[in-house]
Structure 1
Amino acid sequence: MLTSSLSASSTELVINILALVLEEGKPLDRAYSHNFSGLKLAAEEQAKITWVTGDLLRRLNLYCYLADVKTDEIERTGSRLLNVWHRFNDLPLPNLQYALKVDETEYLIRLEKAKGDEALWDGCPEWLDEMGSQQLGEAWPRERKALLQAPKRYLRCNTLKNSPDELQAVLLKESVETVPVDGVEGALEVLSNSALFKTEAFKAGRFEQQDAGSQQIASVVDAKPGMRVIDACAGAGGKTLSIAAQMEGKGRLLAMDVEQWKLDNLKQRARRAGAHNVETRIIASSKTIKRLKLSADRVLLDVPCSGLGVLKRNPDSKWRDTPERFPVLVDLQKQILQSYSRMVKVGGILVYATCSIMTEENRAQVDQFLADNEHFEFIEDELISPADTGFDGFYYAKLKRISE
């Protein structure tokens, strides 16, 4: 939570970032990169900018309603939006030379009306509120409110290089204060507002920044030294590196994806982490999967999904995505689960995972797969609830292959 107003220059940066996201459709991380590139911003000021931008996006429809501005006109009307944000948070208005003023009477009228609309107050677009109500029923309002909160920062201790206690001590010397996370082995919550990626500990590969819920998904794989493990939708490899640590660097860990640039990034991260048993492979066609039939002790399918469990961390997706994309993703998940499950050997374990909390992407997918595949049996599943844990939202199901 901010205790002081943004400077005029930082306010302009926030407006520029929002315009790129909302008017040009750029992902938030790329909008940050575009605007921060070449600037010599103090770490504290950059943190303030990202905090305000994130908060605005988490409740964008509320702030736009209070300011009476449209999301596709942020470049022109962003100054009034930022004035309303400061007013809402009881902060002095930023000292902008040219700014659209806020009518105090109109603002107070709109504020009272907004308090009567729970979904609007929680920063939830209508399409998402309808979907959440349909899929989660009475549990949805709690999850909706939890997804409104700012995300905490978590680290995963890289046990290939140090223990959690050793990491805490090393980080403290660099003015990074952390505490262990209950129930998530090797996870640390960062309490200080520190530039983590500039620390010597990060450069030495002692940790990765990873949500505690995501760390739980990786731990479910339960990979042992000497096993053959496949992370078939590896992306940039956060879970891959966690699995490598489980394996103590022994055995074969194959990280696969359909995008080469993600695998290239993973190679760099693996080198820094000392995860020498990680091998990357592009999925060029269905033949890539067929060649690995019945070969793996463990297969993790962290499938493409709506991301509706990680809206705290990626709030821009609420405003860039549309409900029409959802059934396309559900169909893709079904295809991946059906095809990639062939890589699990008899007696091996398949872990299906998403960063969504929606039933249709989670248990419904698993139930349908089991109905269509008598070669697998259900072991367990869990929804990692943002409302219950404070983490990002994830789901996993653990299945065992019992026959060819």
Structure 2
Amino acid sequence: MLTSSLSPSSTQLVIDVLDLVLTQKKPLDRAYSLQFSGMTLQPSEQGRITLVVGDILRRLNLYCYLSDVKSEEVARLGTRLLNTWHLFHQLPLPKMQYSLSIDEADLAKRIEIAKADLVLWDGCPEWLDTLGSKQLGDKWPQERAALYQAAKRFLRTNTLKTTPDELIKTLAKEQVTTLQVAGVETALEVTSDSALFRTKAFKLGLFEQQDAGSQLVAAALDAKPGMRVIDACAGAGGKTLSISAQMEGKGRLLAMDVEQWKLDNLKQRARRAGAHNVETRIIASSKTIKRLKLTADRVLLDVPCSGLGVLKRNPDTKWRDAAERLPVLVELQKHILQSYSRMVKVGGMLVYATCSILPEENRDQVDAFLAANVHFEFIEDETISPAETGFDGFYLAKLKRIAEV
């Protein structure tokens, strides 16, 4: 958390980013891009801005209640929201030319009332609390509380170029302090406030920023050198690059997605990482999948999902239409699992994964698939719990093809 108040200009940037997200419905990363583009902010100040925005969005309903400001009023009443935030965190009020005052006695009363309402205190919207309680039962309050915490920063060591021990030493020379993460061989936790992407180590491709839980999903594929592997929902390719390192750059690794711009970004990242066995392919139609029938030793299906396991990192998801989108996403997941599983050859393994902790998107999907596809057998599954690990939340299930049909 901050140890000093925001500058007036930074306070305005926070308000502008929040307005883009809450009023204009821009994704948070897009809002940052629009606000920071063309500016010459110091990395430290940009980091302070993103810290405050992230904390407010993780418990938006709490801060709105404490300040008596509705989310759609941020552009007009944002100074009151920011003043409340500063007082809540026992920081001096920022010096702004135009600033709405705060009744500190009223704020103290509101804080005591909020403490008695754990759902509000955890920054959880009603729809999400209802959904989480229904699907996770007694486990939900613990997960709910974990999901309003700030996300830790993790790196994945690129073992094509270095080792975790060597990377720790290399980063230390650039004033980046890291610790190895128990249970995740390639992961380092960043414990210093450092501009990672400006380091020489990053430019040399020695690491990627990737949550430790995400690294566990990629590791579950157990890809070996010389295999034919398909990452069928590759996106920008964080897991693809992890898989390439598992394969020691040997064999064929096909990264697929329906959006070309993501694959273009992946190509750039693969060049920096020295992941020379990565090939990208756009999924233009169902024929793209049919042509690869029974060809892959391993297939990773990191399917589109609600993202409710990664709310620490993407807190704006809480305040979007996730509840309305969930049934559509569940149907899409079912379709992808049924269709894309055809690429796994007999004896090969499929890993189905999401960044959700909801059974509806996870084990329920796997059980329904296995009931309809007796030529696959269940190996094991795992839910990576934010509450238990401190990582982002993920699910993975390993399935083996035992016959063609």
TM-score bracket, normalised by the shorter chain, equals: over 0.9
Distance 1:43 1:324 in 2: 37
- Compute the displacement of 1:280 (Å): 0.3
Aligned equivalent of 1:111: 111
Mapping 1:2-401, distance limit 5 Å: 2-401=2-401
Matched letter for residue 276 of structure 2: H
Distance 2:45 2:267 in 1: 32
- Compute the displacement of 1:319 (Å): 0.7
Distance 1:302 1:215 in 2: 12
Distance 2:322 2:225 in 1: 43
- Compute the displacement of 1:165 (Å): 1.2
Distance 2:273 2:347 in 1: 30
Distance 2:228 2:322 in 1: 39
CA deviation vs aligned residue, 1:292-323 (integer Å, no higher than 9, x gap): 00000000000000000000000011012341
> Which is further off, 32-41 or 352-361?
32-41
Q: Is the 8 A contact 2:213 2:392 kept in 1?
A: yes
Distance 2:180 2:217 in 1: 18
Distance 2:104 2:50 in 1: 27
Distance 1:98 1:391 in 2: 40
Distance 1:186 1:332 in 2: 32
Look up the SS of the partner of 2:23 in the other structure: helix
Look up the SS of the partner of 1:300 in the other structure: strand
Q: Is the 8 A contact 2:83 2:102 kept in 1?
A: yes
Q: Is the 8 A contact 2:8 2:96 kept in 1?
A: yes
Distance 1:350 1:133 in 2: 30
> Which is further off, 157-166 or 125-134?
157-166
Look up the SS of the partner of 2:315 in the other structure: coil
- Compute the displacement of 1:324 (Å): 1.0
- Compute the displacement of 1:107 (Å): 1.8
TM-score, structure 2 length as denominator?
0.99
Distance 2:227 2:272 in 1: 22
Matched letter for residue 344 of structure 1: V
Distance 1:179 1:67 in 2: 38
Identity %: 75
Distance 2:339 2:3 in 1: 52
Look up the SS of the partner of 2:86 in the other structure: helix
Look up the SS of the partner of 2:176 in the other structure: coil
Matched letter for residue 107 of structure 1: L
Distance 1:243 1:43 in 2: 31
Matched letter for residue 56 of structure 2: L
Q: Is the 8 A contact 2:306 2:322 kept in 1?
A: no
> Which ranges of structure 1 fall in alignment gaps of 5 or more residues?
none
Cα 1:322–1:156, aligned 2, differ >3 Å: closer, same or farther?
closer
Aligned equivalent of 1:402: 402
Distance 2:43 2:37 in 1: 14
Distance 1:153 1:12 in 2: 26
Distance 1:189 1:321 in 2: 32
Distance 1:36 1:250 in 2: 40
> Which is further off, 229-238 or 157-166?
157-166
CA deviation vs aligned residue, 1:117-170 (integer Å, no higher than 9, x gap): 111100000000000000000000000000011011000000111111111111
- Compute the displacement of 1:3 (Å): 1.0
> Which ranges of structure 2 fall in alignment gaps of 5 or more residues?
none
Q: How many matched pairs?
A: 404
Matched letter for residue 381 of structure 1: D
Matched letter for residue 47 of structure 2: A
Look up the SS of the partner of 1:346 in the other structure: strand
Distance 2:322 2:164 in 1: 41
- Compute the displacement of 1:226 (Å): 0.3
TM-score, structure 1 length as denominator?
0.99
CA deviation vs aligned residue, 1:359-379 (integer Å, no higher than 9, x gap): 100000000000010010000
Distance 2:201 2:322 in 1: 40
- Compute the displacement of 1:105 (Å): 2.9
Distance 1:249 1:325 in 2: 38
